[in-house]
Amino acid sequence: MNAKNYSNELAEAINAREYLQEQWKAFEMVYIRRIMGITSIDLGYKLQLPIIGRLLRWSAERMIHSEGKHRNPVRADGHFGQVIPLEEAKIILGNLAAEPIIENYCMCRWMQRGIKEACCINFGLLSGVIEKLPRFIPKDTKYRLDRDEAIAHIEEHNKKGYVATVWFQPVPYINAICSCENPECGGLRLRNDFGLHTVYKGEYVAEVDPDRCQACGICVTKCQFGVLRLVQSLKRVIVDINKCFGCGVCRHACKYDAIKLAPRDNYPALRGVY
């Protein structure tokens, strides 16, 4: 992990403040606005159109990973994330995240479900941008967190079954750790339903120890990606590693300590596949 990618100096150097202010003041418009003359409305149909679909997919991927000077914040250029296990989220919050650290309302759950839940942890410069927007700031709870509080909160969300993700905004500046649900999270939605690389899988995959597994099935209910399946005849859970995001939330549910995260690279078929 590279501490430089969290620093406020980096943020200033790449003009992140301006980018973030523009992006956040109208965040809920990101799917409604026209991008290259086309909105996200009925994106599923548009992506399937023979030529325009290929062009759209190409330009969307290019935008998501843009490092260019002229990236456009209202299209969310250079904004993407990666799934991380709880252990790494704690290291980032405990050591690397720039202060102040705030926990604001999740925009995805607000836009997609009309629910305000404070579970989006942002740091440094981005905190200052979000603090000025009252609709994202919890009224009745403490939203500025010290490092220990931030760690306690991410642990609570993760144990509930929310997937921890770290976000570049804009790349290479890292400034948020989110606790997401599928399909409410806009990033996971674009990845899982439309095949765009807005969120990368983590560096790990789940492994179930057949000797420890008691076939209780509880972990199956925790996985948001349909990776785990209880095979009654085998009396254990099997893992579809191709679908696994390596979030590790299934582990918290297992009373028998039967699930571990193993490096993705241990599986030749998954090397370099995120």
Total residues contacting another protein (rule CB under 8 A)? 29
Nearer to ligand SF4, 256 or 274 (CB): 256
Residue 118 sits in the site that holds ligand SF4 (CB under 6 A): no
Residue 111 sits in the site that holds another protein (CB under 8 A): yes
> From ligand SF4, another protein, none, which one binds at residue 13 (CB under 5 to 8 Å depending on kind)?
none
> From another protein, ligand SF4, none, which one binds at residue 34 (CB under 5 to 8 Å depending on kind)?
none
User: Which of 269, 274, 266, 255 shows the shortest CA–CA distance to 207?
Assistant: 266
By 3-state DSSP, what share of the chain in percent is helix, strand and coil, each rounded to 5? 40, 20, 40
| Number of Cβ atoms within 10 Å of the Cβ of 36 | 10
Torsion of CA 42, 196, 162, 247, to 10 degrees: 160
Residue from 64, 93, 97, 244 binding ligand SF4 (CB under 6 A): 244
CA distances from 39 to 35, 42, 119, 197, 231 (A): 6, 8, 28, 18, 43
Q: Find the binding residues for another protein in span 1-60 (CB under 8 A).
A: 25-26, 28-29, 31-32, 40-45, 48-50
Alpha-carbon distance of 24 to 32, in angstroms, equals: 14
Question: To the nearest whole angstrom, how small is the minimum distance from the Cβ of residue 79 to ligand SF4?
Answer: 10
Q: Find the binding residues for ligand SF4 in span 163-222 (CB under 6 A).
A: 165, 178-180, 184-187, 206, 208, 213-219, 222
Residue from 14, 30, 35, 108 binding ligand SF4 (CB under 6 A): 108
| Number of Cβ atoms within 10 Å of the Cβ of 34 | 10
Binding mask 216-255 for another protein (x = CB under 8 A): ----------------------------------------
Query: What single letter denotes the amino acid at residue 101?
Result: I
Q: Are 172 and 230 in contact (CB under 8 A)?
A: no
CA distances from 156 to 56, 72, 96, 174, 213 (A): 38, 35, 20, 22, 24
Nearer to ligand SF4, 256 or 267 (CB): 256
Q: Are 259 and 250 in contact (CB under 8 A)?
A: yes
Contacts with ligand SF4 by CB under 6 A lie at: 106-109, 119-120, 165, 178-180, 184-187, 206, 208, 213-219, 222-223, 225, 227-228, 230, 237, 244-250, 253-254, 256, 258-259
Contacts with another protein by CB under 8 A lie at: 25-26, 28-29, 31-32, 40-45, 48-50, 110-115, 132-135, 183-184, 189, 193
